[in-house]
Structure 1
Amino acid sequence: MKIFKYIALSVLAVGALSSCNDYLDTLPDDRAEIETADQVKDLLVSAYPNYNNNTIMEMMSDNVTDNGKTYASSVLKDELYRFKDVDDTGNDSPYQSWNGYYRSIASANEALQSIEKLGLTESAKNLVAEAKMIRAYSMFQLANTFCMAWNPAKADEYLGLPYPTEPAKFIGGAYKRGTLRELYENIDKDIEEALPYIDDNTYSVPKYHFNKKAAYAFAARFNLYYMKYDKCITYANEVLGSDPTAVMRQYEPLTQFGAQDVGTQWIKTSDPANLMILATYSGASYNLLYPVSPRFQHNTYVCSFATYWAKAPWGSGSGGSKEGAKALLYYSNMMYGLSQAVFFPKMMPQFEITDKINQTGYLHCVDPIFTGDETLLCRAEAYALSSQPRYDLAINDINTWIKTHCREKATDGTTRPVLDEASLNSFMDEMEYSPAVIESWAELTIRKELHPQGFTVAQGTQENIINLILHMRRLETMYQGLRFIDLKRYGISYTHLLKGEEQIIFNPESSDYADPRGAIQLPADVIKAGLPANPR
C-alpha cells in the first residue's frame, strides 16, 4: 500500500473554527418580532445556507472511483456514485441540501417582508440587496443540483423549481416547478436588482456575507453558466481589477505548512483570494478527503491520470516519483492520505465543540465558495466562448493561473511555461482524447470530447483552450462540487467503475449527452407532497 503524508482522523482543526464562530452562531427559527433594521440585519446572518451540496456533486463526478468491495462505503456515497435516487436523509444528502437551501430562501424572504412592513425599502436598500443575493444564490445551488444544465434550446422543456418570494417552511404540492427558463430568469432578476446596492460597510466581517467582490464573482459564474459571456467578463473584471494576482491565492507560503495548517490558512478571511466564506453543517470534508468509508474516493489512479498529477503543460508525475519531485505545480507535492484516498488539504474538517466535557459537537465544512482564482477561470472561459472570441485574453488568464499555481523553476531546471496559441495547440493536439469507457487508467488525458449543451465549441484552438480551462477548473474547485456542473454543461461522458460489476457510463451517446441523471432526484417527501419528480 502506498502511503502519502497521512493525517490522523482524530486530529481536528478546532482552532481554525474560532474565527468563524460568530458566523456559525445563527439565530433560532423561532424569532422575535422584527421591528428594526438592525433586527433585519441580524436575521440575514441566519439566512445564509447552513447545508451544502458538495458531497452530492463530487460523488457523482469523475473525481472519484471505486477502490473495491473490501473497502466500506456509506449508503449515501454508494447511492450517489451509482446515480441512484437517494433515500438517505443525513447532513450531506439531497434531502438536507433541498431543505437547507429552501430554509435559506425562506429566511431571506422573511427579511424582505419585514423591510416592506416596516417601510424601510428606501433606507435599507443594502439589506434588500443582501436578501435578494442570498435568495438568488440558494436558488442557483438548487438549480445546479436538481435541474439539468442551462440549455436555451431546451429551457422551456426542462423542469425548473419553485421560486418562492414570501416566507415558506416547506416546498411541496402548493408550488409549481415551472420551467428552467423561468428559474434562470428569476435568479438573473434578483442578481441584477441586488448588485448596485451591495454595501461592504454593512458588515463587520464582509467575507461572511455577499460583499461587493463576492456578489460580482457570483454574477460572473451565473452568467457564464447562463451563456451571457460579455456580462460574465464585465462582472469578473469588477473582481479582478487590473492585477488579478492581487485576489488570487499565493501557494509558495503554503509549502512550509503541514496539512492541518494549510487547511487553517485556506479559510482565512485575511487571504485576498477568499471573496466569501460559507460554513455549513456537513461531513463533506470527511466524506471527500479522508479515508472514511473509502470505497468510492479520489484515489491514486484518479490523481495520477486525471487530476493533480495528470499530464498538463506544467508537467506530470506522482508525488513519490522522480518526475513528480520536479513537478512545477504546487499541488503535486502537497498531497496527503493513503493510496485509496489522496487529497490536497483544502477545506479540512472543522469541529465546533458544544460539550467540552464529552468533547461532542458539530462537524462543519468551511468553504470559500467564491475566490479570485475561480473567477479568473470564469473570465477565461467567457473570453474563449464570446460571440467574438478573444483567445489572446483567454490565454493571458490561463498564464496568470499557471503563474500563481506553479513554481518558477523545478529542481531539474525546468521552467514554468508561458503559453501562446501555438504552444497551447501543439500540446493539446499531441494528446489523444480521453475515452469515456476506461480500459486502462493510462488512457486518460485532460483532453475530452465536448458535446456542449446549447452552444458550440469549434475544433482546434477554441476546443483546446476550453479543455485546458476545464482541467484547471477541475483542480481549482476540487471538493466544492463544480466539476459535476462542468461535466453537465459540456456533455462530457465518463465512467464510474465498479469492481466485479458492470461499469456505469454517465452521458452515454444514446442520451444525446444530456443525461437525465444530471438532475438529482427530488427528496421523496417533496414528490409525495405533489411536486413533479425529475424524469428518469
Structure 2
Amino acid sequence: MIKTYNKILIALAATAILGSCDKTLDTPPDSRTELDTPEKIQKLLISAYPGASVYWVNEMASDNADYNGDAFTAYDRFHVQSFLWQDITEASNDNTYEIWSKHYGAIGTANAALEAIAKLGNPVNLDAVRGEALMCRAYSHFVLVNTFSHAYNNTTSKTDLGIPYSDKIEKDLITKHERGTVEETYARIKADIEEALPLISDSYYSQPKFHFNVKAANAFAARFYLYHREYDKAITAASKALGADARADLRNWDALQKLSANNFIKPNAYISKDEKANYLLIDAVSSWGYCHGPYRGGGRYSYTKYIADNEATNSSGPWEDYALLNFRAMNYDANIKKMISYKIGAYFEFTDIINKIGYVHSVQTIFTADETLLTRAEAYALKGDVDNAAKDMLTFYGNYTIKKNITKQKILDFYKNTAYYKHDVPTPKKALNVDYALTADQENMVHAVLHMRRILTMHEGLRWNDIKRYGMVIYRRLVQNNEVGIMDEMKVDDPRRAFQIPKEIIGAGMTPNPR
C-alpha cells in the first residue's frame, strides 16, 4: 500500500522524526522520552537506520533496464518517471521524498543519541553506542549525497551542490539550511567515520547483522574511501572487514542457485542474518520486490535477457560461458520480459488484517563480503597495484564461477579484446570518462571489477553509482522485435545524474539541482 503524503507526515510526527528543508532537518525521536540511561540510548539507535531504499530509483536510472514496449505494463507512474530520468513527483514507497525524509529521520535519531551521550559526559561505557550513532549519521548522509548530488571527483566537487549536513538537533522552528558542496559533504562524512571506527564494538549487539558491527563499519569505510579516492585507506578498511582470508566470508553462490525458485526460498536465504557474507542488513518499506520480481507488473521497463546475455548476469567473461557462473538470472514467466536475480523478496505486513491494510517491505544487504572484496580489488587497480587487484579478482572468480584456470593475463586479455559498448552492439565494457589517467592494465582490471559488481549487485542499486563515478554514457533504449532504438541519452555532463531533490523540499525553500 502506497502511503499518502499526509499519512507520511502523521507517521513521522508520531515518532517525532521530521525530514524537511528550511524548517528542520531532524528533531528528537520523542520529546517525552528522557534519554538518561545507556539502555534507552542504545535502544533508540534501532531507529537510526533508514527504512527507505534507493534500489528501485537507482536501478531504473541505470543501464540495468530497457523499454520493452507498451504491450507490457509499468508498475506505476513512479516507475515511468524513474526510467525516463524525469524529476520524481509521484507518490511511492520508494520515491525521492521517502529517501530524503527517512534518511534525515535516521540522522535525527543518531543526533539525539549523540546529544544524550554528551549530556552524560561521554562515558567510556557508551563509546560503542557513540560509534554506532556516528556511523549511522555518516551512512545516511553518504546515501543522500550519492543520490541527490553528482559523484565525487577532484575537479567539480568543490562547486557541485552537496546536501545539508545535520549534526545537531534543531532548537528553532525555522532554521535555514545550506547545501554546501559535494567536497564539504564528503569531508564531514569522513570525519564522522574516522571518529566512529575506533569505537565500534560487537560486544553489545543482540542482532549484530542489523547494526554497524565491526565488519560492516569497515566495509562502509572501504566504500567511502574508494569513492573519495583514498585507495590505501580503502584497502586497509576492506582488509579489516574481510580478515586474513577473504574466502572464509564469501557467499556459497552455487548452493544459493540450487535452492528452489518457488516462493521466497532464495531471497530468504540471501538475506539471512546467519549468512556469514552479510555484514549489514536494513529493513526498508519498499515495493521494489514486486516491481522487479516474478510478477506480471513492471515489465514495460525492466532488466531483460538482451541486457543479461550481452552485458551482465548471463554474459561471458574471463570465466568464458555464462553457464560457468554459479549464480544467474532467470525468466520466471515467458509472457513477461523480466530477467530476475532472485535475491530480494516482497514481504507484506498487515497493520489491519481485517481491512487488509499494511505495507510491503524488503530486507536489503547493504554491505557484504563479496562486494567488499570487489571494493578492495578496485582500490588496488586504481592505485596501480594490478597484481593485487588480480589476486582479489581470482579469489572472487574462484567462488562465483566454476571456471578454475582463470589467470591475471586472461582477465586483462578478455577486456582488452572486448569492444567498447555501443547501444545496438552491447558489451560489458563501457568507455570510462574520468579526470585521471589509467594505464591499459589498470583500465582493463577496472572493467573486470565493474563487470563483476554489476552481476553481483543486480537489482541492488550500486550500478548507478558506478555509472556516475566513471562517467559512463548510457541510453534509454526501446528493444522490440529484434530492433534497438534510442529514446534518450545521458551524456557525461548530464545534470540528471543527480536526482532532483523532492518537490516538497524545494517548495520549502531548498536550492534545487540545476536542470
TM-score (norm 1): 0.86
Q: Is the 8 A contact 1:311 1:445 kept in 2?
A: no
Q: Aligned to 1:399, what secondary structure does the other structure show?
A: helix
Amino acid at match of 1:488: K
Q: Is the 8 A contact 2:161 2:180 kept in 1?
A: yes
Structure 1 residue 526 displacement after superposition:
1.0
Q: Is the 8 A contact 1:136 1:187 kept in 2?
A: yes
Q: Aligned to 2:362, what secondary structure does the other structure show?
A: strand
Say whether residues 1:514 and 2:510 are aligned partners. Answer: no
Alignment of 1:73-84 (within 5 A): 73=74, 74-84=76-86
Q: Is the 8 A contact 2:292 2:298 kept in 1?
A: no
User: 2:176 & 2:479 partners in 1: Cα distance?
Assistant: 44
Residue 62 of structure 2 corresponds to 61
Corresponding residue to 2:427 among 413, 422, 445: 445
Q: Is the 8 A contact 2:318 2:410 kept in 1?
A: no
What is the RMSD of the two structures over their aligned residues, measured on CA atoms? 2.1
Structure 1 residue 336 displacement after superposition:
3.6
Residue 91 of structure 2 corresponds to 89
User: 2:180 & 2:58 partners in 1: Cα distance?
Assistant: 23
124 and 151 in structure 1: CA distance in 2 versus 1, 3 angstrom threshold: same
Say whether residues 1:528 and 2:512 are aligned partners. Answer: no
447 and 373 in structure 1: CA distance in 2 versus 1, 3 angstrom threshold: same
Amino acid at match of 1:418: I
477 and 502 in structure 1: CA distance in 2 versus 1, 3 angstrom threshold: closer
> What is the aligned residue count?
479
Corresponding residue to 1:464 among 440, 444, 448: 444
Say whether residues 1:419 and 2:442 are aligned partners. Answer: no
Corresponding residue to 1:214 among 216, 229, 239: 216
Unaligned runs of 5+ in 2: 1-13, 17-28
Say whether residues 1:353 and 2:361 are aligned partners. Answer: no
Corresponding residue to 2:420 among 433, 445, 456: 433
Say whether residues 1:363 and 2:365 are aligned partners. Answer: no
Structure 1 residue 499 displacement after superposition:
6.9
Q: 1:98-143 deviations in whole A, cap 9, x for unaligned?
A: 0010001011111111112233444311111111100000000001
Residue 167 of structure 2 corresponds to 165
Moved more, 66-75 or 102-111: 66-75
Structure 1 residue 356 displacement after superposition:
4.3
User: 1:299 & 1:469 partners in 2: Cα distance?
Assistant: 22
Residue 481 of structure 1 corresponds to 461
Structure 1 residue 450 displacement after superposition:
0.7
Q: Is the 8 A contact 2:72 2:300 kept in 1?
A: yes
Q: 1:276-322 deviations in whole A, cap 9, x for unaligned?
A: 110011112112234423210001111111211122121345xxxxx
User: 1:252 & 1:353 partners in 2: Cα distance?
Assistant: 34
Amino acid at match of 1:192: E
Structure 1 residue 333 displacement after superposition:
6.8
Q: Is the 8 A contact 1:277 1:370 kept in 2?
A: yes
Alignment of 1:260-299 (within 5 A): 260-290=264-294, 291-299=296-304
User: 1:54 & 1:292 partners in 2: Cα distance?
Assistant: 17
Q: Aligned to 1:98, what secondary structure does the other structure show?
A: helix
User: 2:284 & 2:52 partners in 1: Cα distance?
Assistant: 5
Corresponding residue to 2:400 among 396, 400, 405: 405
Q: Is the 8 A contact 1:217 1:235 kept in 2?
A: yes
337 and 37 in structure 1: CA distance in 2 versus 1, 3 angstrom threshold: farther
67 and 417 in structure 1: CA distance in 2 versus 1, 3 angstrom threshold: farther
Moved more, 231-240 or 242-251: 242-251
User: 1:470 & 1:171 partners in 2: Cα distance?
Assistant: 45
Q: Aligned to 2:284, what secondary structure does the other structure show?
A: strand
430 and 278 in structure 1: CA distance in 2 versus 1, 3 angstrom threshold: same
Amino acid at match of 1:455: Y
Amino acid at match of 2:317: A
User: 1:489 & 1:345 partners in 2: Cα distance?
Assistant: 27
Amino acid at match of 2:429: R
Q: Aligned to 2:358, what secondary structure does the other structure show?
A: strand
Amino acid at match of 2:416: D
Structure 1 residue 528 displacement after superposition:
1.7
